[in-house]
């Protein structure tokens, strides 16, 4: 029986690819899941593995050839076609495990607008015992982090793509030996592990690029598994040099002193790259302008002080400032529809609903999940909604649905002590409101000086769509609503 070896399905935005490196040649015996060839696109390198044991009988596309998605590039003759005296080696199993059914660990299907993803963090290692629904690995896109969970109880047999690797939707990144149990590995078994078992294909390729073999690298993973970091450490390890003469002592000491000044270089995460791209796009593609005002927060602070305990007892949630901000913004958007609109080509799209993006700081960076239909929510529902989004953001569990849409953004730099700022638009939205630190300041009230808790407001808006009169009126409306919160409750 013969099997066609094909180029993987290419991302939607990629027209063709190049055969980068063949790791086998015609006549070679191969085993299931062995990497046969690397296919290079302008974005990623894709590994094509054998789907069964057998012999390579034909290679139709040599290195350097331009190929298309799903194009046949070689033929594999399975099973009996290999006339070798030695039977084909079985798929490798982690040392010290009893093998069960092998389940592929697969990247989830990616959203339509996402071409590829990154292996962010493995929570298990080869040989680890796992239970069904246990989170195995986090896959990071430019929008969200997707969790891949175990489909059954068992033992992790192989990790094909390590942290930092670029992967595609539905791509295999590891194996789970379902029903297997782990046991203490025998020393002889460890000694018999080959370099192929100690390193993933991408790590072996990196060793080749660095001119290293498995014996040159000390693996720090489970069972001596070699990671990309181990290869880099071995490559950067200085070669042993003869002892310097006495006259060379001074220069060596100078180098050591200079060497104490270190720096760390790490690649941007996908989220950080996306944030950078979108912020730069907002600054360069809109006529962004910021207008300011200030609000006396004493009425709201007095109201919270009077009712916060009763509110929490009644609704089982804390009464914060954000519910007041959301209520005021929603009411102001009703009065000034242009601020709730967006530009699409040469059209203005007026939104007849009120989805408010709330800027949330997470360990991965700033994200803006959406509070849907804010005009239909009461104060308690707003507080619970914002709290839920913040917890999801903190735990990396925000979904594409949580992040999609939004007509207007609220960002509260005051929680970090910011006194005044000029927030940048969250495209394609036309406005963003910055809230800031509440600070006691002397204010003139009826001809007398009073110390009041004041907060600066900053509205950044797209001047192509919103005129100065509308922007100032919108900000004044928010100021008036916050300074007289009973108007929010009475809807006046």
Which ranges constitute the DSSP H helices of 408-448?
Answer: none
Contact between 405 and 355 under an 8 Å Cβ cutoff? The reply is yes
Write down the pLDDT at residue 82. Answer: 42
Whole-angstrom Cα Rg for the chain: 30
Contact between 156 and 221 under an 8 Å Cβ cutoff? The reply is no
Reduce the DSSP state of residue 232 to 3 states and report it: helix
Distance CA 94, CA 177 (A): 9
Cα 121 to chain center, whole Å? 10
Write down the pLDDT at residue 187. Answer: 41
> Tens of pLDDT along the chain (492 residues)?
888 899 888 776 667 788 888 888 888 888 888 889 988 876 677 889 888 888 998 898 888 888 888 888 999 888 644 433 344 444 444 444 445 688 999 988 876 667 788 888 899 998 888 988 888 998 888 767 788 989 889 899 889 998 888 888 888 999 998 877 665 444 444 444 455 556 655 667 677 777 787 778 887 765 676 777 788 888 877 655 544 444 434 444 444 445 577 888 888 877 788 888 888 988 899 999 999 999 999 999 999 999 989 999 999 999 999 999 999 999 999 999 999 999 998 999 999 999 999 998 877 778 899 999 999 999 999 999 999 998 888 887 888 788 888 999 999 998 888 999 999 999 999 999 999 999 999 999 999 999 999 999 999 999 999 999 999 999 999 999 999 988 777 665
Write down the pLDDT at residue 87. Answer: 40
For residue 377, CA distances in Å to 162, 314, 487 come to 44, 16, 16
Write down the pLDDT at residue 208. Answer: 72
In a domain, 256, yes or no: no
CA 346-349-352 angle, to 5 degrees, is: 170
Tell me the pLDDT of the chain averaged across its residues.
82
Write down the pLDDT at residue 376. Answer: 93
For residue 81, CA distances in Å to 27, 77, 347 come to 11, 5, 64
Write down the pLDDT at residue 262. Answer: 80
Residues with a catalytic annotation lie at 463, 467
Write down the pLDDT at residue 399. Answer: 81
Contact between 439 and 456 under an 8 Å Cβ cutoff? The reply is no
In the chain, the N- to C-terminal Cα span, in Å, equals 78
Contact between 357 and 429 under an 8 Å Cβ cutoff? The reply is yes
Same domain, 344 and 458: yes
> For the segment 34-54, what is each residue's pLDDT rounded down to a tens digit?
889 988 876 677 889 888 888
Same domain, 57 and 113: no
Q: Which residue is associated with the tokens 């009464």? A: 319
* CB proximity list for 210: less than 8 A, separation 6 or greater: 231, 234, 235
Distance CA 149, CA 275 (A): 28
In a domain, 287, yes or no: yes
Write down which residue in 73, 89, 105 finishes a domain: 89
Same domain, 123 and 171: yes
How many Cα atoms are found within 13 Å in the side-chain-facing hemisphere of 440? Answer: 3
In a domain, 184, yes or no: yes
How many domains are there within the chain?
A: 3
Contact between 170 and 126 under an 8 Å Cβ cutoff? The reply is no
Residue 404 belongs to domain spanning: 274-490
In a domain, 125, yes or no: yes
DSSP H/E element including 456: strand 448-462
Tokens of 444: 């003139």
CATH number at residue 360: 3.30.559.10
CATH number at residue 8: 2.40.50.100
Same domain, 360 and 295: yes
* CB proximity list for 29: less than 8 A, separation 6 or greater: 53, 54, 55, 82, 84, 88
Q: Which residue is associated with the tokens 């080509």? A: 345
Tokens of 177: 């030996």
């Amino acid at each position: 029986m013969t099997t066609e070896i094909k180029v993987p399905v290419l991302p939607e935005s990629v027209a063709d690819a190049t055969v980068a490196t063949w790791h086998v040649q015609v006549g070679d015996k191969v085993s299931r899941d062995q990497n046969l060839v690397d296919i290079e696109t302008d974005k990623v390198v894709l590994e094509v593995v054998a789907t069964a044991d057998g012999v390579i009988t034909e290679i139709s596309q040599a290195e350097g050839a331009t190929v298309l998605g799903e194009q046949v590039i070689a033929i594999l003759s399975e099973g009996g076609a290999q006339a070798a005296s030695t039977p084909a080696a079985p798929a490798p199993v982690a040392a010290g495990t009893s093998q069960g059914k092998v389940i592929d660990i697969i990247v989830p299907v990616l959203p339509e607008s996402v071409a590829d993803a990154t292996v962010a963090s493995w929570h298990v290692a080869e040989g680890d015992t796992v239970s069904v629904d246990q989170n195995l690995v986090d896959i990071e896109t430019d929008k969200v982090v997707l969790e891949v969970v175990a489909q059954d109880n068992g033992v992790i047999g192989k990790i094909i793509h390590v942290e930092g690797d670029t992967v595609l939707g539905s791509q295999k990144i590891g194996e789970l030996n379902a029903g297997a149990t782990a046991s203490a590995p025998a020393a002889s078994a460890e000694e018999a592990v080959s370099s192929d078992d100690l390193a993933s294909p991408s790590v072996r390729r990196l060793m080749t690029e660095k001119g290293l073999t498995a014996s040159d690298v000390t693996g720090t993973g489970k069972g001596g598994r070699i990671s990309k970091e181990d290869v880099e450490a071995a490559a950067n390890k200085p070669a042993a040099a003869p002892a310097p003469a006495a006259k060379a002592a001074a220069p060596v000491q100078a180098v050591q002193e200079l060497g104490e000044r270190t720096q760390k270089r790490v690649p941007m995460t996908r989220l950080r790259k996306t944030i950078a791209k979108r912020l730069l796009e907002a600054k360069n593609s809109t006529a962004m302008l910021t207008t300011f005002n200030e609000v006396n927060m004493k009425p709201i602070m007095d109201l919270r002080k009077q009712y916060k305990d009763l509110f929490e007892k009644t609704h089982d949630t804390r009464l914060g400032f954000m519910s007041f901000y959301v209520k005021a913004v929603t009411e102001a958007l009703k009065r000034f529809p242009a601020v709730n609109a967006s530009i699409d080509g040469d059209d203005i799209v007026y939104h007849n609903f009120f989805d408010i993006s709330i800027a949330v700081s997470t360990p991965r960076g700033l994200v803006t999940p959406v509070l849907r239909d804010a005009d239909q929510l009461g104060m308690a529902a707003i507080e619970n909604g914002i709290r839920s989004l913040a917890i999801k953001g903190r735990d990396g569990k925000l979904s594409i649905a949580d992040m999609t849409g939004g007509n207007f953004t609220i960002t509260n730099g005051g929680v970090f002590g910011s006194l005044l700022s000029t927030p940048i638009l969250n495209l394609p939205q036309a406005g963003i409101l910055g809230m800031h630190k509440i600070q006691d300041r002397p204010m003139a009230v009826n001809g007398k000086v009073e110390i009041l808790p004041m907060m600066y407001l900053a509205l950044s808006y797209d001047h192509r769509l919103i005129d100065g009169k509308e922007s100032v009126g919108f900000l004044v409306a928010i100021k008036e609503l916050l300074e007289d919160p009973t108007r929010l409750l009475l809807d006046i």
